[in-house]
Every structure is written in C-alpha cells, then in structure tokens.
Amino acid sequence: MKRLTFDTICSLVTGFDPKYLSIELPSLPYADAFDVIEQVILYRHCVPATVWKFQRWVGIGDERKMREAQECFDGFLEERIRVKKKESFEKKEMETVVDDDFLTMIFSGEAGIDQGKLTDGFLRDVVFNLLVAGRDTIAAALSWFFWLVAKNPNVEEKILKELAQVMGKDELNKMVYLHGAMCETLRLYPSVPYEHKQSIEPDVLPSGHAINGNTRILLSIYSMGRMEEIWGSDCTDFKPERWISTSSTDEKKMVVNHVPAYKFAAFMAGPRTCLGRKIAFVQMKVVASCVLRRFKIEVVDGHPVVPEPSILMFMKYGLKVRVSNRA
C-alpha cells in the first residue's frame, strides 16, 4: 500500500511515476528517506527538545539520520521541480497539450498562485507537504480497512452487493456503504492518531479550560473515536451503518450522514481541515473497490495486528493475508 500510494501521489503532484510498485519491488533511496524523516519526527516528540536540538547541532544520533534523509529527499524534489519546470515551459512555447499534474498547473498559472512566489524553496515545501498528505495516510487507512472488512464478513457482503450495482458506471459518489466503511475505519484507526498544537497567546478552550500562551496541547484523535459520550455505547464496534441514513425524498435511497468535523476529527477541522480529504476518499474507494471485487482477502490465523508507535497509525507487523480469486 505504501508503494502504491507513493507512486500515485508522485504522479498526481509531480507528473513522475517512480515505479515503486514494480514487480521487482525496487529500493529507492528517496522513498526510504521519507520513512526515516517520519521516524525521527516521532523521536522528537518523545524526548526533551534540548536533547534533539543538541544532537542536531553536533550532528549525531537520529538528527544525523534526519539531516541525511532530508538532503536525499530534497534532492529528489528539486530534480522533479527542475524537470517539470523545463517541460512546462517548452510545451507552452510549442503550444502543445501539457500534463495535468499539480506542478504543471502551478507553472501554467492554473493553480492561482502568484508566479512571483514560486521560489525553489516555496515549491519544495508545497510539494513535500502534498506528498506527506497523500502517501502514508492513505496507505495506513487502507491496511486497517482491509483488516476490518476481513474480520467482518457481513460488512464485506454489503460492500460487494453495492459494488455489483454501481461498478462500471464510474460513479464513486454512489458507493454510500463503502464510504461509510471508510469513515468507520478512520474513526477507529485514524491515520494521524494525535495532533500536536501550541497556543500563541492565552486562550480558553471550548471545554472551558484556560491555557497560557506557548502551551503544548496533544489531541488524541484515536481516543476521541472510541469515546462513549461521543459515539454511543457501541463506540468500539465496526459499524458502517452509523454513517448512513435514508434520503428525505426517497426512502429507498441511502445517503451519507453529515458528521461535524469537530466530532469526526480524522481530517481535522476549521482552518486546519485537510485539503486532500476528497482526493483521499476517491483514492481509497478506487483501491478498495478494485481489490474487493476481484479478490477474497483472509487474515492469516495468529498474525498479530497492533498499531506501530509512529506519528502515523501503521500496523507494527504489517498485514499478513491470504489472497484468492473470487468465483
């Protein structure tokens, strides 16, 4: 899943397919560097700031790994930006059809970004953030989704029934039950299990708690998804139906319930809402529908499935399954 989403998000953002999911499963230094960066970010959350800042200053330990990984990944990003900028300008001069990736949209002016702001540093930061948002978060969510579906045959049966009705019509928005199963997966196993915020000035939280300026606050999205006072007595059950209701105009039509972002915070809320929410659901639906329609997935007996300590909720031991063709 990580290889698939890395190929996909690189293609969408830079127009370049690294072929990380090729049959030979290649090792790409810049993809490995991506993993190192995530690991060191978690390390920074677990030790006093003075420790990792000292390590960064003298260039030792995890901070040395971080520096090397950043240099490697920045080199990859800078090369992709340079190539895409050259291609875009050449195609524009020749008046040929340009690609539809994000970098092309930026260089062509379609993204609505002031061309005067397009410094190399700005472009690198934008592309890096988009790659972070579109790679591992979706990969983690899909892994938990397939595990939950495999452990709940009744849910799998309902998804297959829905797919049989809408597949081939290119209508992802009609996959209501599948959407509910995706939301339920993210409620129980949010790709970003906690958020780290810091107040700039003294404030009062909605709960009534007063906080000082420069106060660090950890929001446990994982815990919120399992709180009985928020989701009811069945909060630990995998129940896609909680996201679905009948249409007010047609009792036979099922629609997705609107749940406030401050209740379902897997994509955060307000000004900090994830910009890639819609893209994430599209990609997850496409992958899930293609896989489940063709293959039966069964979790290997005795395989441990537990979260890995990380800034993202991966499975510590991966997901070991048996795959067979559907009849």
Give 313's contacts (C-beta < 8 A, 6+ positions apart). Answer: 140, 144, 189, 190, 191, 192, 193, 222, 307
Q: Which amino acid is at 153?
A: P
Q: Which amino acid is at 165?
A: Q
Contact 135, 127 (CB under 8 A): no
Annotated binding site: 274
Distance separating the N- and C-terminal Cα atoms of the chain = 24
Annotated binding site for heme: 274
Report how far residue 74's alpha carbon sits from residue 274's, in angstroms, rounded to the nearest whole number.
Answer: 23
- For the chain, how big is the Rg over CA atoms in Å? 22
Report how far residue 201's alpha carbon sits from residue 22's, in angstroms, rounded to the nearest whole number.
Answer: 50
